[in-house]
Structure 1
Amino acid sequence: MALTPSGDRRLHVLQAVEDGWGAFCRAPWAFLLFQALAGLILLPFAALTAVGAARLAKVEELMVVHPVGGWIALIAGVIGYVIVALWTVVGLTRGAWLSLEGRKPCFADFTRWDRPASARLLGSAVLLAIVVAVAGAIAALIGAGLGKLNEALAVIPMIVVAIFYVWLLVTQKFLIQVSLLGTSKATNTLGSGVNVVNPSWWMVLWLGIVEGVIHAIGGLFSYGGLLVVVPVVLCISTAAYRQLFGAEDRTGLLG
């Protein structure tokens, strides 16, 4: 079942930033080397996806009926990219959790493949995408109907769905951590985020803004800055998750 608030848990953003930075500093080279390794493995799959998409676009222009090579390249690239991305996120989250526990994660802690955890994370992401798509489709249909009555009315559903998107995305700020550490069923992830985050919604929004600023600062230093920022922000988010959801590994991610 979905997680619910436990006790009087409050989010302290600055404490989460401090704890997350401390966790990263406990094993910086392990975080960075794994991040660099994951990036190198992702590159050929990203290139394969781009080649496949470009080939399909060119084939469409030439009116060719069977663009088999393009589809194979695109599908293989997307599947490979998703698998490696899941492996990367699971590994970084496991390393962040171990570091926040006061342990120094080794490189093997990052690289270990965990199929059930990856499946939960993928399922949760797909569910969130479906909710977002359905809400957008409903708003578009209602807007089209209202637009026939008055063009000004067509804007109302778009405003409502935009507010809903902001609320939903903030409640799912810890979707990665909830999927990997909070619940063993992907179907409970979204409900857990809503239940636990809602009482601290504004503080979680503030955390998201702080992390956005950190990302922007890292972006100023190009790829090197992003290489550092990604694990640091994940450590900060995981530290904040522990404040709201508790410091219990409910799924056996560390096992």
Structure 2
Amino acid sequence: MIESSPPPPAQLDVFEAVRQGWAAFSRAPWVFVGFSLLLTVVNAIFSGIQRLGTNEEGLPISGPMALVALLGAVAGVIVSLWGSVALVRGSWSALEGGQPSFATFVRWDGAAMIRLFRNGLVLGVLVGLMLLVAAGLAFGVAQLSQLLAVLPLLVALLVLIYVVINQKFLAQVSLLEGLGPISAIQRGRAVVDPQWGQVLLLGLAEFAVLLLGLMACVVGLFVAIPVVACISTAAYRQVFGTTDLTGLMTGSDAGQDSASLV
């Protein structure tokens, strides 16, 4: 049964999230790794198609090849969205005590992908506007003093770090709570702000896992990426609750209308 409202937030325990995430990955390690490998291969194919239509500077070679590059880029975005939804679904299933199969990952969920794309796009636009304002201020201040020009950029960097941590769970909120972009961003702020430091610690722990994967001859990333997905989803479940409000796991999507910007 799909609930109509999210539960109240709880406190994040980073070490418990890491433990739960690793335990979830361990329930189906070869499936997680296999899907990560598949996702990498498919992304590489479409990235190659995109490069076919561009020169070394990244500019289209010709009109028809520009279309090829565009198709490759669009397909790459779609594959990334599909992979993100799949990793959240697979990690959620494992955290529920299940043993996710390959079918759990590859199932197509267009509505969930639209929610994820829409919410991520709005957040990206807002961050982009903030950086443009900071760059404009830096340029204006530079006319008065080169030394002071760094201040707006420094403030923008600090705000960017705050937002990145603040919106750490945007993917899970979008996929499992079905909120529009503004509501999803506000939900992240309301829940994460009181424990921002703990979520920062979580982000550093996930970075350490990815770094270990990179150091393990790069192939370790095929393990590290799903492990981080499991850790992140375990942390989300601690803080936001364990209820699937949209039917992501069952396929009976009940998210907000894809046109909603609220």
Show the counterpart of 1:116: 111
Offset of 1:150 from its aligned partner? 2.0
Partner Cα separation in structure 2 for residue 24 and residue 118 of structure 1: 23
> Gapped runs of 5+ residues in structure 1?
61-66
Q: Which residue, out of 151, 157, 161, partners 2:152?
A: 157
Q: Which residue, out of 87, 92, 103, partners 2:98?
A: 103
Offset of 1:134 from its aligned partner? 0.2
> What SS does the corresponding residue of 1:181 show, helix, strand or coil?
helix
Match status 1:52 vs 2:47 = no
Show the counterpart of 2:31: 30
Match status 1:84 vs 2:86 = no
TM-score, normalization by structure 1: 0.91
Partner Cα separation in structure 2 for residue 152 and residue 58 of structure 1: 36
Q: Is the 8 A contact 1:184 1:251 kept in 2?
A: no
Partner Cα separation in structure 1 for residue 144 and residue 57 of structure 2: 40
Partner Cα separation in structure 1 for residue 40 and residue 125 of structure 2: 28
| TM alignment of 1:1-255, pairs within 5 A | 6=8, 9-54=10-55, 57=58, 67-255=62-250
Offset of 1:4 from its aligned partner? 8.0
TM-score, normalization by structure 2: 0.88
Partner Cα separation in structure 2 for residue 6 and residue 239 of structure 1: 16
Offset of 1:22 from its aligned partner? 0.4
The residue type paired with residue 87 of structure 1 is W
Between stretches 208-217 and 33-42, larger displacement belongs to 33-42
Partner Cα separation in structure 1 for residue 60 and residue 86 of structure 2: 39
Question: How many residues of Structure 1 are paired with residues of Structure 2 in the alignment?
Answer: 246
- 1:69-116: CA deviations, max 9, x gaps? 331121011111111111111111101001101111121111100001
Offset of 1:142 from its aligned partner? 1.4
Q: Is the 8 A contact 2:46 2:73 kept in 1?
A: yes
Offset of 1:194 from its aligned partner? 1.0
Show the counterpart of 2:259: none
Q: Is the 8 A contact 1:4 1:196 kept in 2?
A: no
Q: Is the 8 A contact 2:53 2:60 kept in 1?
A: no
Partner Cα separation in structure 1 for residue 118 and residue 50 of structure 2: 22
Structure with greater helix share of residues? 1
The residue type paired with residue 151 of structure 2 is I
The residue type paired with residue 29 of structure 2 is P
The residue type paired with residue 90 of structure 1 is V
RMSD of aligned residue pairs (Cα, Å): 1.8
> Gapped runs of 5+ residues in structure 2?
251-262
Partner Cα separation in structure 2 for residue 18 and residue 81 of structure 1: 32
Offset of 1:216 from its aligned partner? 0.7
Q: Is the 8 A contact 2:46 2:76 kept in 1?
A: yes
Partner Cα separation in structure 1 for residue 169 and residue 6 of structure 2: 14
Q: Is the 8 A contact 2:123 2:181 kept in 1?
A: no
Between stretches 141-150 and 71-80, larger displacement belongs to 141-150
Q: Is the 8 A contact 1:23 1:100 kept in 2?
A: yes
Q: Is the 8 A contact 2:6 2:177 kept in 1?
A: no
- 1:123-162: CA deviations, max 9, x gaps? 1211121111100111111122222222222111111111
Partner Cα separation in structure 2 for residue 30 and residue 57 of structure 1: 35
